[in-house]
Structures are given as structure tokens and as C-alpha cells.
Amino acid sequence: MAVETDHGIGEAVAARIERRWATLSIVIVGVLVGMATFIGIHQATMPQGRVETADPGTLHLSGEFIESNLGSAVEADGSVTVRAIGQQYSFTPQCVVVPLETPINFRATSADVVHGLLIEGTNINTMLVPGYVSVLPIRFKALGEHVMPCQEFCGIGHQGMWGKVKVVDKTEFLNRTAAKRRLTCVD
């Protein structure tokens, strides 16, 4: 009889400890999700808001991704727009030049298969899916050069698809835009 009672008590204790742990687990998950939500909204680090499209079949003929429109351009409000294309197995422009401490709107797409790009030493990272435009608000806080590899398997030449990003002083950048509407490293 005593054993029975002990068993009953033991079971109640076991269930109580287990409930406590379950509650703690729910709190842990809740805090993590809450943190991500708060940072996402508070610091406006939400992913791309809407879906934009671009036909890879006519990219080179019309629209914002024609060759003469690729590269970095200064907008009326002082921000910079960078437009780029990924294709097997290079980026156009192959070297992107951007000014320091300036809000930059990065717009890119793919001309053939799925590519991606990331800029090493930064948190800039996006996919390039043919048919869709990837839009990314970025800002550089230090001068220098970064490598920009394609981060998605895009065929047997994938390992050779490395671009570059050069961050230059803002006045130097503006001086160069005076001579040319769309900048790349080689201009």
C-alpha cells in the first residue's frame, strides 16, 4: 500500500517537473521569436517587402537592366542605385563601385539560371532568381574592397563567378559621376 502511495507521489512530482520544463521551453522559444520580431520591426531589417519581376528574355533589350543602365547611379535625393545582373558565370558589372556612408538601393536579377551574391565582410546576401528582381537597401561603413562571389550553384563554371565591390570616398564617387551617368570600377 505504501509503495502504491509512493508511486502516486512520484508520478505527481515527475509530471510537475515536466510541466515546468515545458513552460520554460515555451518561454525560451517565445523570447527568441519576440527578439527577432522586435529587431525586424524596430530596426527595419525586414526582408524584401514585395515581389518584382523582370523577364530574362528581354533584359538586354528594354527596361532598367539594359547594359547602359547597369552600375551605380546617383539619384535626385542623393541616394545611390546600383543595378547588376548575374549570368553564367559572371556579374555585370564585374566590379561594383559604391560611395561610403550613403544609402544605396541595390537592384539585381539573373539573365539565365539561379545565382546568388554575397559581399564578404558584410551582411549583404541575396538570391538572384531569373524572372524576379532582388531589392536590397545597403550602406557601407568602411572604405576598401570586398569579394562578391556567386553563392548558389549555377553550373559547372560556378567556382569562377566572383565579382568585386569597391567602396570609395563619397566626394570621389560624386566627382566621377559628373563625367558619367553610370559608374563601375573601370570608369
Partner 1 sequence: MLTNKRLILSHFWLAFIVFGAALVLGAWQMFERSPLNAWHFNPEFYYRSVTAHGSAMGYVFPTLIAMGFGYAITEASLEKPLVGRRWAWAGFFLVAVGAVVAMIPVSLGLASVLYTFYPPMVGNPFYYIGVVMVVVGSWIWVALMPINMAVWKRENPDKPVPLAMFANVAGSYLWGWTAVGAALEIIFQILPVALGLKSTIDAGLARVFFSWTLHAIVYFWLIPTYIAYYTILPRAIGGRLYSDAMARISFILFVVVAMPIGVHHLFADPQVGAGFKFMHSVFTGLVALPTLLTVFTICASAEIASRLRGGRGAFGWVRALPWQNPILLATALSLVMLGFGGAGGLINMSYQLDASVHNTQWITGHFHLIFGGAIVIMYFAIAYDLWPHLTGRALESFGLMRTQLWLWFTGMIVTTFPWHYVGILGMPRRMAFYDYANPAISPQAFSVSMSAVGGLMLLTSGVLFLIVLIRGQRAPASEAGAYRFSVPLHMPARIPVALNSFGLWLALMIGLTVVNYGYPIAQLMVLNETNVPAVYVGASR
Neighbours of 53 (CB within 10 A): 8
Please, which residue, 54 or 74, has the CB nearer to partner 1?
54
Binding footprint of partner 1, residue count (CB under 8 A): 70
Q: Contact between 55 and partner 1 (CB under 8 A)?
A: yes
Question: For the window 7-26, what string marks contact with partner 1 as x by the rule CB under 8 A?
Answer: x--xx--xx-xx--xx--xx
Rounded to 5 degrees, what angle do the CA atoms 147, 149, 154 make? 165
- Span near partner 1 by CB under 8 A; candidates 73-81, 92-100, 141-149, 174-182: 141-149
Residue 113 sits in the site that holds partner 1 (CB under 8 A): yes
* Lookup result for grid cell 557601407: 140
Among 47, 61, 77, 141, binds partner 1 (CB under 8 A): 47
Contact 167, 104 (CB under 8 A): no
**What cell does 176 get?**
566621377
Q: Which x/- pattern, by CB under 8 A, does the window 56-75 give for partner 1?
A: xx------------------
Shortest Å distance, C-beta 135 to partner 1: 7
Residue 180 CB contacts under 8 Å (≥ 6 apart), including other chains: 187
Rounded Cα distance between 178 and 181, Å, is: 7
Q: Does 175 bind partner 1 (CB under 8 A)?
A: no
Q: Is 101 in the site for partner 1 (CB under 8 A)?
A: no
Q: At 95, phi and psi to the nearest 5?
A: -130, 120
Do the Cβ atoms of 116 and 158 come closer than 8 Å? no
d(CA 1, CA 77): 84
Alpha carbon distance 185, 182 (integer Å): 10
Shortest distance (Å) from residue 175 CB to partner 1: 27
Give the binding site for partner 1 (CB under 8 A): 7, 10-11, 14-15, 17-18, 21-22, 25-26, 28-29, 32-33, 35-37, 39-40, 45-53, 55-57, 88, 109, 112-114, 116, 118-121, 123-135, 145-147, 149-159, 162
